[in-house]
């Protein structure tokens, strides 16, 4: 161990930031590289127009292209903490069956090379780190847990409690959604309406900057370079070890050396980094011997419903307090599959759910709510990222493979909403295909560097180490071999804690 640092971590989202947190106090000298900067704490954090309409914090650079070569807006958030600075903090464990492989619409969905059992202790740790508030035993699909949630659930607003009764009457099993906010004793959270989609001005949302990166930086062995874009990896002559990472900062290139390299730049940028690092030993890019880097990209099918009750007031505003998992398994002949989550009153400031006129807007304010419906997609090799000849990231979709699971879920939910008294329900399902002109990361996108035991169809092994490389790891959402219906961030964080343990076991730092 002759390098200035032991471990370099590129990317500070739930993957990279949580891994760096796990290394604090270990004696390892760690350098974190983050392309973005800290999101400033400022009044605009909670300004709907600034955030949702003017996209104050998004990188709108038309730096990507679609399959046809047309400009594609990435709409990414490049910030310390990654997308979690803007997420809703719904922090759920994957269900046991999600690891085991299942069928979705008569097609097999890949199993993970690790089991729920393997990840359970790390889920428990991640829930403590990310202040998860929840109630065990309410959701019939919940996997076993070694202990209760670290914090009690966020109570429903009175109107929501009433609503829960109506949903139960119509056969649903609503539960308190596990959520990461600072409602610990004496905590800072004021349960305001600007949470999902917004950065928290008072740092009361359990994002990766607040819960992991800042605490990690209290260790004098851990350092962070912001505005530092990981551009390329350099290997030794044999191609088995990464020896340096080239970083572009303020228009200049630098090389940083380390013993271990961890890539966590997100599902688009991590494969791009491996592909840009092609050399004689790795002509198609590092880890790309089987032409799997960048492939198997999975977008969730998402529909945001706006529902307006005919008479019952619904003025409560806090977003993600309840969920429904009754569609996590097939019900009779229905193919409806996915999850339903409350989303407060995210709209009207954001199309395409914007109520069409002033009267509908007023009705929404008085008696409306938003619901997010999500169905996972299967991994398809033709859904992919590659580097175009001009160096730009190209996102390509194969033939449409989607069946009716999401559409049937939307129909089933709408039917129940009507029975409960929601006279007006509208919403739009976002398509993902080669005609799309912008992509945003809130779709829980996953895949692109899938984990698996067979190097012929995966990029990293069960330890998240790139096949054929001794010291290169990946810990972001790109390693997901299949996509769960539940939100991904807690799994990304728990997996990063697991990988950190493996790294410390395999590459112990030389202590003074
Ligand atoms: C509005 C919104 C709401 C969401 N709500 C939820 C929710 O409620 N629950 C949930 O579980 N998930 C939610 N998500 C999804 C969740 O935030 C992501 O799945 C998660 O952040 C992905 O983590 P990651 O570490 O894989 O990547 P990211 O969070 O994308 O982090 C990657 C990091 O790498 C940096 N980076 C990129 N390229 C480079 C480079 N070349 N060099 C250096 N750094 C680089 C990026 O700037 C970024 O900081 C939401 C997302 C959004 C946008």
178 lines ligand 1 (CB under 6 A): no
Which domains does the chain carry? 7-40+55-506 (3.50.50.60)
What is the DSSP track for 419-485? HHT--EEEEEEPP-STT--B--GGGT-B-SS-B-S-TTS-SB-TTSBBTT-SSEEE-SGGG-SS--S
Q: Is the CB of 403 under 6 A from ligand 1?
A: no
Both tokens of residue 172? 């649903």
- Beta carbon of 222 within 6 Å of any ligand 1 atom: no
**What is 153-188 written as a DSSP string?**
PPPPPHHHHHHHHHHHHTT---EEPPEEB--STT--
Question: In sequence order, which residues have a C-beta less than 8 Å from that of residue 220 and are 6 or more positions away?
Answer: none
Over the stretch 83-118, which tens digit does the pLDDT of each residue have? 999 999 999 999 999 999 877 777 788 899 999 999
Most confident of 6-10, 350-354, 393-397: 6-10
Q: How far is the CA of 82 from the centre of ligand 1 (A)?
A: 4
- Digit-coded pLDDT (tens) for 293-346: 999 999 999 998 989 999 888 877 788 899 999 999 877 778 899 999 998 887
pLDDT tier, 353 (very low <50, low <70, confident <90, very high otherwise): low
Identify the three-state secondary structure at position 39: coil
- For the chain, the residue count is 512
Q: What is the mean pLDDT of residues 260-268?
A: 97
Ligand 1 proximity of 269 Cβ (cutoff 6 Å): yes
Please work out whether the CB of residue 232 comes within 6 Å of at least one atom of ligand 1. Answer: no
Rg (CA), the chain: 22
Vertex 334 angle, CA 341 and 175, to 5°: 25
Q: Which residues contact 190 (CB under 8 A, 6 or more apart)?
A: 202, 204
Question: pLDDT at position 349, please?
Answer: 45
Give the integer Cα–Cα distance in Å for 191 and 321.
10
Q: What pairs with residue 474 in β-bridges?
A: 263
- In this prediction, residue 352 has a pLDDT band, given cuts at 50, 70 and 90, of low
In this prediction, residue 280 has a pLDDT band, given cuts at 50, 70 and 90, of very high
Provide mean pLDDT across the span 118-136.
Answer: 98
1 pLDDT band, cuts 50/70/90, is: very low
CA distance 316 to 343: 11
CB under 8 Å to 106, separation ≥6 — which residues? none
pLDDT in tens, 8-45: 999 999 999 999 999 999 999 999 999 999 999 999 99
Residue of 340, 45, 49 lying closest to 192 (CA atoms): 45
Centroid of ligand 1 to alpha carbon of 265 (angstroms): 8
How far is ligand 1, taken at its centre, from the CA of residue 166, in Å? Answer: 36
pLDDT of residue 355: 65
Per-residue pLDDT reduced to its tens digit, 238-252: 999 999 999 999 999
> In this structure, are residues 298 and 279 in contact, taking their beta carbons and an 8 Å threshold?
no
Could you say which DSSP state residue 298 is in?
Answer: B
Ligand 1 centroid distance, CA of 14 (Å):
7
Report CA(307)–ligand 1 centroid distance (Å). 29
The verdict on the CB of residue 247 being under 6 Å from ligand 1 is no
Going from the Cα of 443 to the center of ligand 1, the distance in angstroms, rounded, reads: 10
Give 477 Cα–ligand 1 centroid separation in angstroms. 8
Q: Record the tokens describing residue 49, joined without a space.
A: 């127009």
Q: Is the CB of 221 under 6 A from ligand 1?
A: no
Nearest CA to ligand 1 atom 52: 442
Q: Is the CB of 11 under 6 A from ligand 1?
A: yes
Closest ligand 1 atom, residue 36 Cα: 47
What does the angle CA 184 – CA 157 – CA 209 come to, to the nearest 5 degrees? 35
Q: Is 15 in the pocket of ligand 1 (CB under 6 A)?
A: yes
Question: Ligand 1: which of 93, 263, 266, 494 to mutate, judged by most atoms within 8 Å of the beta carbon?
Answer: 266
Residue 487 has pLDDT above 50, yes or no: yes
Q: What are the tens digits of pLDDT across the range 405-459?
A: 999 999 999 999 999 999 999 887 877 888 888 787 778 999 999 999 999 999 9
Read off the tokens for 285: 């890019």
CA of 448 to the centre of ligand 1 (A): 14
The first and second tokens of residue 25, run together, are 């106090």
Average pLDDT over the chain, rounded to whole? 92
Which tokens is 371 given? 């619901």
Range with the poorest average pLDDT among 58-62, 64-68, 152-156, 476-480: 58-62
């Amino acid at each position: 161990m002759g390098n200035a640092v032991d471990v370099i971590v590129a990317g500070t989202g739930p993957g990279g930031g949580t891994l760096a947190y796990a290394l604090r106090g270990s004696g390892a000298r760690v350098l974190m590289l983050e392309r973005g900067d800290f999101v400033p704490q400022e009044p605009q954090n909670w300004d709907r127009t600034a955030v949702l309409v003017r996209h104050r914090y998004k990188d709108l650079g038309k730096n990507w292209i679609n399959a046809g070569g047309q400009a594609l807006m990435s709409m990414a958030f490049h910030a310390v903490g990654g997308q979690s600075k803007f997420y809703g903090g719904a922090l759920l464990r994957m269900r046991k069956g999600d690891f085991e492989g299942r069928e979705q619409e008569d097609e097999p969905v890949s199993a993970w090379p690790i089991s729920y059992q393997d990840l359970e202790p790390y889920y428990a740790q991640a829930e403590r780190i990310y202040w998860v508030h929840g109630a065990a035993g309410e959701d019939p699909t919940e996997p076993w847990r070694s202990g209760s949630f670290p914090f009690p659930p966020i109570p429903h607003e009175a109107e929501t409690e009433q609503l829960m009764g109506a949903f139960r009457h119509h056969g649903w099993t609503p539960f308190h959604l596990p959520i990461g906010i600072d409602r610990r004793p004496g905590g800072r959270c004021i349960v305001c309406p600007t949470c999902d989609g917004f950065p928290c001005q008072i740092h009361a949302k359990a994002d990766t900057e607040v819960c992991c990166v800042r605490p990690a930086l209290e260790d004098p062995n851990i350092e962070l370079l912001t505005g530092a874009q990981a551009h390329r990896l350099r290997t030794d002559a044999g191609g088995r070890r990464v020896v340096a990472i080239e970083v572009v900062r303020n228009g200049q290139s630098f090389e940083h050396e380390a013993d271990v390299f961890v890539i966590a730049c997100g599902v688009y940028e991590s494969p791009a980094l491996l592909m840009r690092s092609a050399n004689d030993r790795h002509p198609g890019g590092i880890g790309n011997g089987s032409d799997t880097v960048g492939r198997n990209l999975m977008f969730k099918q998402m529909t945001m419903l706006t529902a307006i009750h005919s008479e019952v007031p619904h003025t409560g505003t806090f977003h993600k307090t309840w969920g429904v998992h009754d569609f996590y398994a097939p019900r009779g002949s229905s193919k409806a599959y996915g999850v339903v989550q409350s989303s407060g009153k995210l709209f009207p400031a954001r199309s395409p759910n914007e109520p069409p006129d002033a009267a509908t807007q007023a009705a929404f304010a008085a008696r409306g709510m938003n619901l997010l419906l999500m169905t996972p997609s299967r991994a398809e090799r033709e859904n992919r990222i590659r580097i175009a000849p001009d160096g730009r990231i190209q996102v390509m979709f194969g033939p449409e493979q989607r069946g009716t699971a999401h559409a049937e879920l939307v129909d089933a939910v709408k039917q129940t909403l009507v029975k409960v008294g929601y006279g007006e329900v509208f919403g739009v399902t976002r398509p993902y295909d080669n005609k799309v002109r912008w992509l945003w990361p809130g779709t829980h996108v996953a895949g692109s560097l899938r984990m698996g035991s067979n190097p012929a169809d995966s990029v990293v092994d069960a330890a998240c180490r790139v096949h054929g490389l001794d010291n290169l790891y990946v810990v972001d959402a790109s390693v997901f071999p299949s996509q769960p219906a539940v939100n991904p961030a807690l799994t990304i964080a728990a997996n990063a804690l697991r990988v950190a343990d493996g790294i410390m076991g395999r590459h112990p730092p030389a202590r003074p």
